Chains A and B, each alone.
Chain A
Amino acid sequence: MSQRSKIKKQEIVTAYFLLTPALTLFLVVGLFSIVFSIGLSFFRLSSGSLLSSAIFAGIDNFRDFLFGRDQLLTRNFWRALGHNIWISGSMICFVIPLSLSLAMLLQRIGRGVAIFRTVFLIPMVTASVSIYYVWTGIYNARGSLNQFLANIPFLDNLIQANGWLGELNTALPSMIVMIIWSAIPGTLILYFAGLQTIDKNLYEAADIDGGSDFQKLLHITWPMLTPITVIAVVINLNAALQIFEQIWVMTKGGPAGSTMVLNVLIYQEAFVTGAGLGRANAMGWSVFLLTFIMSLISMRLLRDPADR
């Protein structure tokens, strides 16, 4: 065996050795759940029944919500999907620029970085049912937001009599604001760490060339942060398409379905009406497919220079 192929072989062995812990864990707790859950989506099974009662249903479960075999569910599914897409769009359009700006601002100041960083993590630290209730209180008809608006001239006609989560037009946007608020810390941490990896010499060179701040952002910071942006887009996209807890706690998808999202629908199907575990799984995996495809597209659009 030549020296070269020996090195190559050693590299392959080492690579799989390094992957062993991750792959083993996946085989133990991940694979079974995934295969089982995908399999279940082709069966008819109500929650509260045993597996022995499952009846093979082919693609009926998918036809139920995709192609109108169950008209009501199909309508709800597509409407919920629309809401999820709204949430994804808003998250990407707001979370990413806001996080990046905050990270850059943090990098510029000298004193107080530590304090600001801790404070900026609060939305993530307090992520629990209690904080969702706080937002319900802020948005309530008699809550802080309406009270605040009442004190400001010209803005008092913005007051929502039924509360911000209570009107058909404002419920989803209000939810989105809350979702953005809680998603910023995670993305901010990524950008903050990413900014540190950029070579300071690049900026100094740009200074000598007389580049403006904006030019530096456009030609140095943004391209250097592309790998981070890819992750951030994928994370936020996934968070938006899998959004559940906030909406379940705060609005249950209401009023009149105006904040209904896919996971709330799936959850209701699986555990509230108890209609069908099989169908809930089918919906879940359809969302999976959609998220995966959208992520691959965004990864392709924002391709890491190192991959090219």
Chain B
Amino acid sequence: MNRVKTILNYGLLALWALLCLYPLFWMIGASVKEPMDVMGTYALFPSGTWHWETYVEVWKNLGFFKYFINSVNVSFWTILLINIFYALAGFAFAKLRFPGKNIVFFGFIGMMFVPVITVLVPLYLIEYYLGFLDTHLGLIFPMVNGAAPLAIFLFRNYFRTIPHSLFESARIEGASILRILGQVYMPLALPAMATITILNFLGSWNSLVLPMVILSTRKLFTLPIAVTLLDTGVFRQWNVLMAGSLISVVPVIVGFTALQKYYIRGLVAGAVKA
């Protein structure tokens, strides 16, 4: 009975895995087709030769490392600031009592629904006044700010699952709130941080519209913009764009695979301690 169950579990997971992988295979297949075939035949893999040389070409034209460093710079600081800023805020909302708490909290949550498309124009305007245009900071700040609602919500909820008795006993012993946060809560928050990091990292890594509007100098471009500039054809070279996109997400996939273990370990550790 248990065996059947296990097989069924794996079967269902494998089915979903296949649905996740199919479009990826499609992308790989398209990237090695002739540019004409991508839009013409729609078969998963090319019928004739596999044009791996597209990757060589794309790699040569992309200038991968230059833009990779930019993407890393933007994503790294975005993630770091999100985790610091909103862990602090989430803790305040979860554990402290202060006037205006609900208004501020729902104010932040409400920010999630701000219409992104129309806010881009005023964002450009304020960044112009502050001198953030055409800098990485001009990407990092709005990205961090945009992550506020979800990150605050998650940190607050997570800190709440940690028993309040921990907080109270430390208070009675005379520890300051900041010390309790730093020594007791922050280490316990690792699983929440991991979740928030994954969610926001992918968002900032793939972000395209904001960098396009804010950045103008080629030197500062992030990988996704660099990929859109690969296509110099008279008609859209989907094979080149697919190869470029794949190259730009390989570091992410490799990174995740490598960090998986720590992430899961962190989750489990967090669960036990809580």
Contacts and interface: CB of A to CB of B under 8 A. Distances in A.
Interface of A: 7-8, 10-12, 14-16, 18-19, 21-23, 25-26, 28-30, 32-34, 36-37, 40, 101-102, 105-106, 108-109, 112-114, 116-131, 133-135, 137-138, 140, 142-144, 147, 181, 186, 189-190, 192-193, 196-200, 227-228, 231, 234-235, 238, 241-242, 244-245, 263, 266-267, 270, 277, 280-281, 284-285, 287-288, 291-292, 295, 304, 306
A102 B113 contact: no
A15 B44 contact: no
A243 B57 CA distance: 35
A133 B27 CA distance: 9
Contact of A25 (B85, B192, B224): B85
Nearest to A123: B20
A126 B26 contact: no
26 contacts: A10-B177, A18-B88, A18-B92, A19-B88, A22-B85, A29-B126, A34-B111, A105-B13, A119-B17, A119-B21, A124-B202, A126-B24, A128-B249, A130-B238, A134-B27, A137-B38, A140-B42, A143-B42, A144-B44, A193-B191, A197-B274, A227-B157, A231-B153, A231-B154, A235-B112, A295-B109
Contact of A22 (B19, B88, B114): B88
Contacts of A285: 115, 118
Nearest to A287: B115
B260 A281 contact: no
Contacts of A292: 110, 113
B211 to A, nearest CB: 13
Most buried by B among A14, A245, A291: A14
A126 B111 contact: no
Nearest to B113: A291
Nearest to B31: A130
A48 B133 CA distance: 20
Contact of A263 (B117, B122, B245): B117
Interface of A is mostly: helix
A118 B245 contact: no
A117 B245 CA distance: 21
B253 A118 contact: yes
Contacts of B118: 37, 40, 266, 270, 277, 280-281, 284-285
A120 B13 CA distance: 9
A121 B88 CA distance: 28
Nearest to A231: B153
Given A33-B119, A126-B245, A142-B42, A231 B157 contact: yes
Interface residues of B, number: 101
B217 interface: no
Nearest to B158: A197
Contacts of A199: 274
B152 interface: yes
Contacts of A129: 208, 228, 241, 245
Contacts of B242: 130, 133
B89 interface: yes
Pick the most buried of B9, B121, B252, B268: most chain A CB atoms within 10 A of its CB: B121
A144 B13 contact: no
B10 interface: yes
Nearest to A24: B85
B257 A114 contact: yes
Contacts of A133: 238, 241-242
Residue with the greatest number of chain A CB neighbours at <10 A, chosen from B109, B112, B249? B112
B84 interface: yes
Interface-central residue, B6, B12, B89, B97, by most chain A CB under 10 Å = B89
B122 A105 contact: no
A34 B253 contact: no
Contact of B30 (A15, A23, A134): A134
B26 A138 contact: yes
Nearest to A108: B9
B260 A32 contact: no
B191 to A, nearest CB: 6
Contacts of A127: 202, 206
B20 A26 contact: no
B19 A235 contact: no
A8 B152 CA distance: 23
Interface stretch (B48-56, B60-68, B141-149): B141-149
Contact of A193 (B88, B130, B145, B192): B192
